[in-house]
Structure 1
């Protein structure tokens, strides 16, 4: 038999093969007769990125509902306005619609520019922008207790650290948690952050710090930042930078007054129901379920024939595929045909009027 004859036979049998798959689907999956069927509308990209993505992800199974959907309401293109992300955007929009918030934001930006201008005029040779660590910690600080009791650091090393000078405006910024050990134990980077009274105190501090584990150093950095009093830091800036204390205090009061409404709005948003709902999402353990809760507002139902929204998890997809292949093997043969049946069943659900 020539190649052309084989090709002719394949081209004749291939459509029949697909037809037999549809016959098998129709014989194994009986149609469910309903009085009416409402399919969720799927927004076009012109309706917006979020409605378009929600229409694709949340309607992946194209469910048949026996009641009208919210998206059928005139002027409404979305069925998922009760989702977490929709609620967050609505609350954020209500905040941004407040003209006072925008005006305060502009004022705060102007204050930041003034602070930049003031600090740029500071004379590093005089104040050097350093303060004693003890002077910027809270009155009831727990940092020294954490060092002595939690890490068993010698009291003289703790005392030398508390009396050391801290760079307020270090150009390198706050070190990343994974970079703390390299700063403490390698080179002279430590001098960019802390200045001890003597080389002996510096070496004693480095010996103790380098003997600690990575997680202990990260925890110590977190405890230190938690015990820093921001008000004390701001009050130390004028003297450290050799600035006019009267002008600096007035600018500090203005900055605080402009920032307070924005902080209150940020706290209110964070404590709102929709923003708190994001804390229950776990994208590592249940990525598909978390995406469904975020975009669709409902947990996915992993029963394919009655699924309302979303994807099944990878494990459940594998179980469903295995079950369907075993159940259809007596009718359609090998596992590959069982997979084809699932694909045809999916097409049958999306285009019920074509078969």
Structure 2
């Protein structure tokens, strides 16, 4: 039996610990506060700051293996602790680095053609003026942001400039600026990677407020088509992500039936639109027409090809003449 160390005590850590203890393993948590869900368990605990190397080394030294539950911990620090203690960290740190740094994460997703939110990397205040899309924005630290920390929303460039000054003043790293989406539902799925195989768990539905998950409904009650789409993406990640460990990925379903993706096909950059037949038969209303026009303007601005994958029943009759007006617009 192992003494399993878990860095972080959120919901994922809570359930990992319950599964481990049910098999007879002992669990030691490293927590930053007594408010985390894992405190409810009959396990051992060490409390300390995420930067406290001495306390963290004591935690590593008392563990046979260490599981990462959150993205709060620096890759460089974890690499040093693993080397000094001889205690192996899961997920393996090469994989963790690829996902912990959001810039590398986005590059990884783009490389394997995984659709993700439109984003822009900001290294200093001057970069904000070069943002290729208008607000509202979701702003994230390129690393270390998790569960509401390091994430915030702003409406426009002037508010963005004022808000991020402290980020660069305090040397908190680069920023990932994402186009804020109108989100209908949020889902998550776990990928369990072994040396020669991987397992994908059924998606759950998550309910979030201010970028913090407050409730999880497992399994998610979704259509077979959505279920297959999530599993298809997870399978693509599983095939391309190296190293053992447990990984969690989030998925966002937008409120209208049209989803814009800015990606690459065989290294040809383009703008692509997809109609979602599951939403009111893919019918075209004002929001869909606006999205098509917005995609066209962005493609013209960046001199990129623009493709649309259609799956539509026609004009959205519930919007009357407004839906018919989208025909000359598009």
TM-score, normalized by the shorter chain, greater than 0.5: no
What TM-score results when the alignment is normalised by the length of structure 2? 0.19
Higher RCO (CA 8 Å, separation ≥ 6 residues): 1
Q: Which one has the largest radius of gyration? A: 1
Higher helix share: 1
